[in-house]
């Protein structure tokens, strides 16, 4: 019985290590150019909330955030020149790294970019 408790205890510790809550330094590549940003995430149950940088010093709240089995996803709605653009982030958390993609559409054209984030300590 003690072995079973110990195993489940270790599984619980491993899951906690994958919690995406925190501040992440993110790098995304668009059209051959890299852009850095600070992403703030908070996990509450299975709901993921947080912010990403907007224009100027404003932060934009993420929407539709989820996290399950080390996979996260969320959307960000931005307004550029009066046009609303939705970016859909997805990725996998592994320790202090998130790797994934950003899907967006603007002017009828879709594009996909790779993104990676490192947890700030």
Whether residue 59 is predicted with pLDDT greater than 70 in this model: the reply is: yes
The pLDDT > 90 percentage for the chain reads 59
Q: Cβ distance 42 to 49 under 8 Å? A: yes
Nearest CA among 29, 37, 82 for reference residue 62: 37
The set of residues, in sequence order, having a beta carbon less than 8 Å from that of 107 and lying 6+ positions away, is: 83
- Mean pLDDT for 60-76 is 96
Which tokens in the block code for residue 83? 């046009």
13 pLDDT exceeds 50?
no
Query: How far apart, in whole angstroms, are the C-alpha atoms of residue 100 and residue 118?
Result: 12
**In whole angstroms, how far apart are CA 55 and each of 23, 71, 108?**
19, 28, 23
Q: What is the pTM of this model?
A: 0.80
| Domains of the chain (ranges, CATH numbers) | 2-119 (2.40.128.20)
**CA–CA dist 44, 116 (Å, integer):** 22
CA distances from 119 to 3, 26, 27, 31, 79 (A): 33, 9, 12, 25, 27
């Amino acid at each position: 019985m003690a072995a079973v408790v110990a195993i489940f205890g270790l599984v619980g510790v491993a899951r906690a290590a994958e919690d995406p809550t925190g501040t992440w330094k993110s790098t995304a590549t668009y059209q051959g150019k890299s852009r850095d940003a600070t992403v703030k995430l908070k996990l509450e149950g299975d709901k993921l909330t947080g912010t990403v940088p907007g224009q100027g010093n404003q932060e934009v709240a993420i929407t539709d955030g989820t996290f399950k089995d080390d996979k996260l996803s969320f959307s960000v709605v931005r307004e550029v020149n009066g046009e609303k653009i939705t970016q859909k982030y997805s990725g996998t958390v592994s320790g202090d790294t998130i790797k994934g993609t950003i899907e967006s559409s603007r002017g009828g054209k879709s594009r996909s970019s790779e993104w990676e984030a490192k947890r700030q300590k």
